């Protein structure tokens, strides 16, 4: 299966869910044009007090469409944008990408994966139990976070449903993703 963008979303307001858009524009060093989380420094309200003017490693939030299928099978009604992501993908195992992996979205945009999204309690406001459904334990008992990944924008460009995704692995030893 080829990797593809399935949906794009943004919201100028600091709300949890993001409405669908026909297309979004990624801005290098900023994030999604017109999105409340765009900027060179931390923009997530829950992180501003703790991290202040630290670099924004969460400019773009991506979730794999396969997670929505898993959640629907568990009885949740979820669709792209509802969990706060900007880009919904298909055919990319986002959670297995190494830190620093680059995703080429469409013709011009390039993002770099910075880490895992740490699921927050706001998921339970969307639907009770949703936060727990985005967490699991591996065979060794380690916590697995399934609510997507975060990225920074290296090269801007337009992104829309149906755009191909090309993955570029970083050189050298690969570092597993950690929450950012």
Q: Which two tokens stand for residue 116?
A: 């895992």
Q: Give the CA-trace dihedral at 16, 20, 24, 29, to 10 degrees.
A: 10
User: Has residue 179 been placed in a domain?
Assistant: no
For residue range 111-140, what is the model confidence (pLDDT) as tens digits?
Answer: 999 999 999 899 999 999 999 999 999 999
User: Three-state SS for 18?
Assistant: coil
Instruction: Report, as an integer, the average pLDDT of 89-114.
Output: 98
User: Three-state SS for 41?
Assistant: strand
**Cα angle, residue 91 at apex, residues 115 and 138 outer, rounded to 5°:** 55
Range of the domain at 25: 4-168
For residue range 12-32, what is the model confidence (pLDDT) as tens digits?
Answer: 999 989 999 999 999 999 999
DSSP secondary-structure letter at 79?
-
Contacting residues for 7 by C-beta, under 8 A, at least 6 apart = 20, 65, 80, 81, 87, 88, 161
For residue range 30-89, what is the model confidence (pLDDT) as tens digits?
Answer: 999 999 999 999 887 777 777 778 999 999 999 999 999 999 999 999 999 999 999 999
Closest CA to 24 of 36, 7, 43: 7
Entry pTM: 0.95
User: Has residue 173 been placed in a domain?
Assistant: no
pLDDT of residue 52: 74
Domain CATH code at residue 41: 2.40.33.20
Average pLDDT, the chain: 95
Check whether 1 has a pLDDT greater than 70: no
Q: What percentage of the chain exceeds 90 in pLDDT?
A: 89
Dist CA 5 CA 90 (whole Å): 6
Q: Give the CA-trace dihedral at 63, 70, 133, 78, to 10 degrees.
A: 60
| Cβ proximity of 64 and 145 under 8 Å | no
Domain count across the chain? 1
Instruction: Outline where 74-152 has alpha helix (H).
Output: 122-126, 130-133
User: Has residue 125 been placed in a domain?
Assistant: yes
Dist CA 147 CA 69 (whole Å): 13
């Amino acid at each position: 299966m080829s990797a593809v963008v399935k949906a794009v979303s943004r919201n100028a307001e600091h709300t949890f869910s993001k409405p669908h858009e026909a297309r979004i524009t990624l801005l290098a060093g900023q994030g999604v044009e017109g999105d409340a989380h765009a900027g060179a420094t931390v923009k997530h309200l829950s992180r501003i007090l703790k991290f202040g003017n630290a670099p924004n490693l969460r400019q773009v939030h991506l979730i794999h469409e396969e997670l929505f299928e898993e959640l629907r099978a568990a009885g949740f009604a979820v669709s792209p944008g509802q969990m706060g992501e900007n880009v919904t993908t298909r055919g990319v195992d986002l959670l297995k990408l190494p830190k620093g992996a680059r995703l080429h979205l469409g013709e011009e945009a390039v993002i770099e994966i910075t880490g895992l999204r740490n699921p927050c309690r706001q998921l339970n406001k969307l639907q009770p139990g949703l936060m727990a459904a985005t967490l699991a334990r591996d065979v060794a008992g380690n916590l697995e976070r399934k609510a997507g990944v975060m990225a920074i924008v290296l090269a801007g460009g337009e992104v829309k449903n149906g755009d191909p995704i090309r993955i570029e692995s970083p050189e050298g030893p690969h570092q597993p993703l950690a929450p950012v």
